[in-house]
Amino acid sequence: DGGITQSPKYLFRKEGQNVTLSCEQNLNHDAMYWYRQDPGQGLRLIYYSQIVNDFQKGDIAEGYSVSREKKESFPLTVTSAQKNPTAFYLCASSIRRGTDTQYFGPGTRLTVL
Amino acid sequence: QKEVEQNSGPLSVPEGAIASLNCTYSDRGSQSFFWYRQYSGKSPELIMSIYSNGDKEDGRFTAQLNKASQYVSLLIRDSQPSDSATYLCAVERAGNNRKLIWGLGTSLAVNP
């Protein structure tokens, strides 16, 4: 059963803590993405990766870090430098970057206490 | 001017009616266009992609693209209460830094 999984579904973080959000796909897609969604602001691109061991900053990368050590996995770390991390985080993948359709995981809702 | 604009709604239609959702974009070089549906608290799911001028039909959904006028629309025929959701338009930005540009979405309510 192919798809994209994200964990955890809900995550609570204390201020000053780093947290890592998991994203795994078994679609054999080359490209993976992280978005952040806030009410009234739409989807904003945090980071993307076109191939293993390569990733690029998106529009709002400050306070976030990623890695792409395996094709299937693209974890996102929300660091303490991210001043307003409470949001809905969405991971997506596509066969290739660019014109290809993006498919989304179920999302992780992060709340800073 | 925003790169991708959608009327935020809410758009309210009675059950069985046609819902019409519109999206305009600013990049004349864009070649790929997508409609996603997002239920409250859930992630976006693809409804349809369209790449050529004209209409593309899939079941109750029809996407319409007019590159000269820079708009793409989504028609939902025989609207059902289960169609109540936010509909996101995404447009590929052309050029060296290709990526999808997302609209803020249109909220649709289908009333029984």
- Give pLDDT, residue A99: 62
Q: Could you read off the pLDDT of B70-107 as tens digits, one per residue? A: 999 999 999 999 999 999 999 998 777 678 999 999 99
Is residue A41 very low, low, confident or very high in pLDDT (cuts 50, 70, 90)? confident
Task: Give the residue from B43, B47, B58 with the most A CB atoms within 10 Å of its CB, the best one to mutate.
Answer: B43
Q: Which residue has the higher pLDDT, B33 or B94?
A: B33
- Give pLDDT, residue B11: 96
- Give pLDDT, residue A77: 97
Contact predicate B72/B89, CB 8 Å = yes
Is residue A42 very low, low, confident or very high in pLDDT (cuts 50, 70, 90)? confident
Beta-carbon separation of B99 and A45 below 8 A: yes
Residue A62: partners with Cβ closer than 8 Å, 6 or more residues away: A81, A82
Chain-wide mean pLDDT for chain B? Answer: 94
3-state class percentages of chain A: helix first, strand second, coil last, to nearest 5: 0, 55, 45
Q: Environment class of residue A87 by beta-carbon count within 10 Å: exposed (0-12), middle (13-18) or buried (19+)?
A: buried
Beta-carbon separation of B44 and A99 below 8 A: no
pLDDT at position A53 over 80: yes
Beta-carbon separation of B34 and A101 below 8 A: yes
- Give pLDDT, residue B81: 97
- Give pLDDT, residue A98: 62
Beta-carbon separation of A98 and B98 below 8 A: yes
Q: What are phi and psi of B81, to 5 degrees?
A: -55, -30
Which residues does chain B have within 8 Å of residue A39's beta carbon, measured at their own beta carbons?
none
Coil, strand or helix: which one is A51? Answer: strand
